[in-house]
Amino acid sequence: MSFDDLPVEVGPVFEGERIRGKQMYVELGGPKQEKKFELVRVVPSDKIEDGRVTIIGPDIPDIEEGSNVPWGIVIEMSGDKLEEDLESVLERRIHEFTNYIEGTMHLNQRYDVWQRVSKNAVKKGFNSLKFIGDILMRLYKAELPIVEKAQVTIYTDRGQMEAAYNEAMEIYEARDAKVRGMTDEGVDQFYGCVLCQSFAPTHVCIVTPQRTGLCGAINWFDARASARVDPKGPNFAIEKGDAIDESLGEFSGVNEIADSKSLGEVTRVALYSAMEVPHTSCGCFEAIVFYIPEVDGLGIVDRNFKGSAINGLPFSTMANQTGGGKQVPGFHGIAIEYIRSKKFLKHDGGWNRVVWMPSSVKERVKDDIPADMVNKIATEQEVSDLEQLEAFLKEKNHPLAASIVAAEEESEEEEEEEYGMAAAGGMPMGTMTMSVPGAGGVGGFTLILKNAKIHAEKVIIKRMDAGSKKRKK
């Protein structure tokens, strides 16, 4: 395949390219745009004018340098072996293929897509967004010969994008809905996805009926369709094997695949826990489940949440902690769709353990939160710090409230363990040795004061307990 006629180069070597704000000519979609999308559709061959790219809205010459514009892209494809079930997986390749283009950067997927084109690329002659469509079509045909014909429509005008955007949202929902109601117990095979291994070499996504791929774009049906047409490709069947621990969602077949695909880095994977040998996270998770030690609960923050989550950290900071194919107990990348699953954090206590989430996510998954829990989970609208969160949980009688109260009482008792030491008039003291016993009479420490002058009404010594769930105030 030749790209010699193009102003920029194309190839996997450009995949890791980052384009900072100062280097970008234009930003397409991303957090500044409320609505953006990318969609692949399989259509009959006679509906396609092969190779055509249509731009609806301003193109590069009309766009001021350094600005942000709306972004929608629809790639229609045909081919004898193509079927609708393959759309999700074909669509997911947009990420990889766009990143092949020198001077472009692509992040995320579906309704979160975020792209940049660099000033350098524009200087070299990348003077139309048509190049993106053109290159994508060439890469699809070269890498996936089942794609025979294609045409691309790009939207950069908010108003004219509306209908296509709404249609895309309906299609995403229909894909997601297809797998709802199925159970992990009801199938013998799960599927693996290693599309993200170029970024996270030890990461393999385990896609089950009740656990959608953590990018949110590949569910069990999608991975199955992809594995059928290309069993040696990025998606493949996993024989479930024996259930080692049903609560954790640990299966022998999954462990074997994780072990081999991560080259021995990850040997055990729990599908239903954020805390114990959790599933690894690549970089494109839609949300993060994070542990909040102060209340021993779990929070959820999604990619679109602006500002800091209840633990004081923004999504981006936690994403660094979570991603890269590591297994990090307490930082767990997930798809929004997985929040709806009956297996959601099952081993950690499920919804009874969830204490905080953004209101927008809560609204989206409301129907799948147990009715008696909906009002017990705080959002940024009710609380803004951990103290308020604790009060909220107690007030609403959240299932964790009792243990929060118990932890507080324990901490008050600690405060009462005061050691009053009156040294009236600040009289010089010789060497004074005090032994303070540790909890349960084990450990403890010795305090030696040499020639100390102490002026104090009282001295309070508090136990420092590193493992304490209670935040020191």
Residues in touch with Zn ion (CB under 5 A): 196, 215, 282, 284
Task: Report the distance separating Cα 151 and Cα 17, nearest Å.
Answer: 26
CB of 19 or CB of 196, closer to Zn ion: 196
Q: Provide CB contacts within 8 A for 18, sequence distance 6+.
A: 105
CB-nearer residue toward Zn ion: 132 or 207: 207
Least distance from C-beta 214 to Zn ion, angstroms? Answer: 6
Taking the least distance from each CB to Zn ion, the nearer of 274 and 383 is 274
**Which amino acid belongs to residue 375?**
N
- Measured between alpha carbons, how far is residue 312 from residues 287, 316, 383, 408 in Å? 16, 12, 12, 22
Task: State the minimum distance, in angstroms, from the CB of residue 176 to Zn ion.
Answer: 17
- SS3 percent helix, strand, coil of the chain, rounded to 5, is 35, 20, 45
What is the distance between the alpha carbons of residues 271 and 238, in angstroms, rounded to a whole number?
14
- 99 vs 411, beta carbon nearer Zn ion: 99
Give 264's contacts (C-beta < 8 A, 6+ positions apart). none
* Residue 98 CB, nearest approach to Zn ion (Å): 15
CB of 205 to Zn ion, least distance (A): 7
- Rounded Cα distance between 446 and 313, Å, is 38
Is the Cβ of residue 234 or residue 358 nearer to Zn ion in the bound state? Answer: 234
Query: Which one, 221 or 285, has the nearer CB to Zn ion?
Result: 285
CB of 128 closer than 8 Å to CB of 117: no
Amino acid at 77: M
For residue 413, how many C-alpha atoms fall within 13 Å in the half-sphere facing its CB?
A: 7
Closer to Zn ion at the Cβ: 70 or 234? 234
Of the pair 303, 470, the CB lying nearest Zn ion is at 303
Minimal distance, residue 215 CB to Zn ion, in Å: 5
Residue type, 38: E
Nearer residue to Zn ion within complex by CB, 282 or 355: 282
Three-state DSSP at 447 gives strand
Least distance (Å) from Zn ion to the CB of residue 107?
11
Least distance from C-beta 231 to Zn ion, angstroms?
20
With a CB cutoff of 8 Å and minimum separation 6, the contacts of 103 are 8, 14, 17, 19, 117, 118, 120, 121, 122, 124, 126
Q: 196 or 207, CB closer to Zn ion?
A: 196
Contacts for 249-258: CB closer than 8 Å, 24+ residues apart: 249/184, 249/211, 249/273, 249/343, 249/346, 249/347, 250/277, 251/190, 253/190, 254/190, 254/206, 257/192, 257/204, 257/206, 258/204, 258/206
Q: What angle do CA 10, 12, 17 make, to 5 degrees?
A: 85
| Type of residue numbered 47 | K
Q: Is the Cβ of residue 77 or residue 282 nearer to Zn ion in the bound state? A: 282
The residue count for the chain: 473
Tell me the pairing of strands 24-29 and 67-69: parallel
In DSSP notation, 189-241 reads EEEEE-TTTTT-TT--EEEBTTB--TTSS--HHHHHHHHHH-TTSSEEEEE--
| Cβ distance to Zn ion smaller for residue 326 or 469 | 326
Maximal CA-CA distance, the chain: 100
- The nearest distance, CB 282 to Zn ion, in angstroms, is 3
Q: How far is the CB of 266 from Zn ion (least distance, A)?
A: 15
Smallest gap from Cβ 280 to Zn ion, in A, equals: 10
User: For residue 431, what are the CA distances in angstroms to 231, 315, 421, 447?
Assistant: 77, 53, 14, 10
CB of 223 vs Zn ion, minimal distance in Å: 13
Smallest separation (angstroms) from Zn ion to the CB of 323: 9
